[in-house]
Amino acid sequence: MVNFLIFGPPGSGKGTQSVKLAEKFNLLHLSTGDMLRAEIAAGTELGKKMSSIMSKGELVPDEVVIEMIAYKIDHSKGIAGFLFDGFPRTVAQTIALEKMLNDRKMKIDNMLVLDVDHDELVKRLVARAELSGRPDDKDPAVIENRIDVYKSKTEPIIAYCREKGIYQPVKGMGTIDDIFERLCGFMEKFV
């Protein structure tokens, strides 16, 4: 099994690229954002509780997403590995993921970090709001808060992973296909 993190600020293209990468490398794409939105769409108790947190652009509690990911890891078969998208988002989530994988004789093999200019992030999310109707894309103040939350709570993971030798910066500007080719170039070294 080979396991990757795809990492970057909101709007950096994590979800977009993950779908293509998972298909190419036979990885299971695990997006905590998608899992949480599915809970909201299904009207579950958890979804109702998480919805107001997400619409403000804040992070949901660590234990909620850790539990979701642990369940998926233990109920997946026939894949070459996992592609974690939007998880981990805090150092505590990173430590929990490492433990989950280590306990199952796996590890994080590499972390691919998409680097995108601030103005481009905002432009992409505003454009997506038109199509997705996502409440967290609609309000520019919420978009700015998501970027601030990324800088304060999520970005410290980079230093943590770099220490462990699992950090690969990737230019995230340009066309979706160009960025995909760049990511494939780095992932092919591991699969």
Q: Which of 7, 25, 82, 87 binds ligand B4P (CB under 6 A)?
A: 87
Whole-Å CA distances, 122 to 27, 58, 76, 130, 141? 29, 17, 35, 13, 10
Q: Which residue is nearest to ligand B4P (CB)?
A: 33
**Interacting stretch for ligand B4P, rule CB under 6 A, among 25-33, 72-80, 98-106, 183-191?**
25-33
The total of other beta-carbon atoms located within 10 Å of residue 23's CB is 10
Stretch that binds ligand B4P, among 21-29, 41-49, 51-59, 74-82 (CB under 6 A): 51-59
Rounded CA gap, 102 and 124, in Å? 36
Among 21, 60, 101, 113, binds ligand B4P (CB under 6 A): 60
Sketch the per residue contact string, 106 through 135, with ligand B4P: x for CB under 6 A, - otherwise. Answer: ------------------xx--x-------
Residues 6+ apart with CB under 8 A from 156: 91
Tokens of 185: 């170039």
- In the list 36, 73, 83, 170, the residue contacting ligand B4P (rule: CB under 6 A) is 36
For the chain, how many helices (H) and strands (E)? 10, 5
Under the binding rule (CB under 6 A), the answer on residue 94 touching ligand B4P is no
Does residue 16 touch ligand B4P according to CB under 6 A?
yes
Q: Does 183 bind ligand B4P (CB under 6 A)?
A: no
Task: Report the length, in residues, of the chain.
Answer: 191
Complex with ligand B4P: residue 25 or 97, whichever CB lies closer = 97
CA neighbor of 148 nearest in space, from 169, 122, 166, 171 = 122
Contact yes or no for 14/51 (Cβ under 8 A): no
| Contact present, 12 and 113 (Cβ < 8 Å) | no
By CB under 6 A, tell whether 15 contacts ligand B4P: yes
Q: List residues near ligand B4P by CB under 6 A.
A: 10-16, 31-33, 36, 53-54, 57-60, 65, 86-87, 89, 93, 124-125, 128, 136, 146, 175-176, 179
